[in-house]
Structure 1
């Protein structure tokens, strides 16, 4: 295995600058919403020059894309860890639902961005990098699902349909909590796992 080479001072400065811009973009979004997420607002909040923002990210959309990529990767990583520790498919579904809703509760501003129309727009216009992150992170989840399909625990449906049945209700509840606040996520964490399990289990029970 090749040893990781230490970063040069220039590389380190570049990483620090990128982190400053990403953290500032999230703060601006939390304080001012989608309409307030502008180049000028981010440069003011970060103390980083306009030229540096364009150098590192190309545009405000590039910055938002990078922010989404960073946090989507973290979310998918937590979901993969959750199901990886499960002893069977049913407990894995419970762990996945609770991990997703726990992430939303722990990171409401990030989650609001991940579930926003801005994220949908960026995903459509500049979605390759986001898809690459998702595809890189999904194999542990996909392998977990396929393993339990082979064991006869999960119904042999298409991967896309299984993903929709697994995550669709959780995403819907999360969006509602983030936008309307009229749903109890703790209650959802208790109820959704069994409802989702019935929709994907091989015997429907």
Structure 2
């Protein structure tokens, strides 16, 4: 990598890091061009050069953190020998991620991210395909072995991730009736019952 390319990557990282800090402190309405350039110390021209617009920066930031979340979920599945263990590992990894990266989790679970996901779903899915399919690749042999109910993979993914995402959204919304430690203990067994072939 040339020194110029390296400087460009460092600049883009500064912009993304500043944008996440601002998003965590002020939400979407606070994520403006002037706020990001002021917080990052990066020029307006550099922001437009790297991301094209504040919307481009927002989308790059959301994709960056969605990629990290999916990567952590894939890593959590690695050591799991059984589907039941995998459900537990996936649930705990997801809930740990939102606790440790609250600002990023708010961004990934935001209504804007949902809108973009609905409008550009296929394109975004294809961009994350390797990470998304890690769950399907891990799950397929467990379905074939009769450990998991023989349901279409998208339905199994919904049964596994739906309750976890719902719990995460409720916690991120500020409801004080959600205890993530309790959810990490209770949800895996409840989810497992919904997909078990037994």
Same structural fold, with TM-score higher than 0.5 when normalized by the shorter chain: yes
Aligned position for 2:116: 122
Secondary structure of residue in 1 paired with 2:147 = coil
Distance 2:57 2:118 in 1: 15
**Distance in 2 between residues matched to 1:35 and 1:124, nearest whole Å:** 21
| SS state at 2:128 partner | helix
> Given the superposition, is the C-alpha separation of residues 128 and 28 from structure 1 closer, same or farther in structure 2, using an over 3 Å criterion?
farther
The match for 2:142 among 145, 148, 155 is 148
Q: Kindly indicate whether the alpha-carbon contact (under 8 Å) linking 1:65 and 1:130 is maintained by their aligned counterparts in 2.
A: no
CA distance in 1 between counterparts of 2:118 and 2:4 reads 33
1:128/1:158 CA distance change after superposition, 3 Å? closer
Q: Cα 1:155–1:74, aligned 2, differ >3 Å: closer, same or farther?
A: same
Q: Does residue 1:107 correspond to 2:109, yes or no?
A: no
Q: CA deviation at 1:50?
A: 1.0
Query: In the alignment, which of 170, 173, 193 is matched to residue 176 of structure 1?
Result: 170
Q: Does 1:13 align with 2:13?
A: no
- Structure 2 vs 1, CA of residues 126 and 46 (structure 1 numbering), >3 Å: closer, same or farther? farther
Q: Which residue of 2 aligns with 1:186?
A: 181
Matched, 1:37 2:31: yes
Aligned to 1:56: 50
Checking the alignment, whether the CA contact within 8 Å between 1:101 and 1:189 is kept in structure 2 is yes
The answer to whether structure 1 residue 166 and structure 2 residue 154 are counterparts is no
Q: Please give the alpha-carbon distance, in whole angstroms, between the structure 2 residues aligned to 1:151 and 1:169.
A: 25
Stretches (4+) displaced over 4 A: 125-129
Q: Which moved more, 1:131-140 or 1:105-114?
A: 131-140
The aligned counterpart of 2:88 is 94
Alpha-carbon distance in structure 1 between the residues aligned to 2:110 and 2:5: 32
Equivalent position to 1:66, from 43, 56, 60: 60
In structure 2, the residue matched to 1:4 is none
Question: Alpha-carbon deviation of 1:180?
Answer: 2.3
Instruction: Quote the residue 1:25 is aligned against.
Output: 19
Q: Provide the alpha-carbon RMSD of the alignment.
A: 1.3
Alpha-carbon distance in structure 2 between the residues aligned to 1:174 and 1:87:
26
Deviation at 1:125, TM superposition (A): 4.4
TM-score for both structures, normalised by structure 2? 0.95
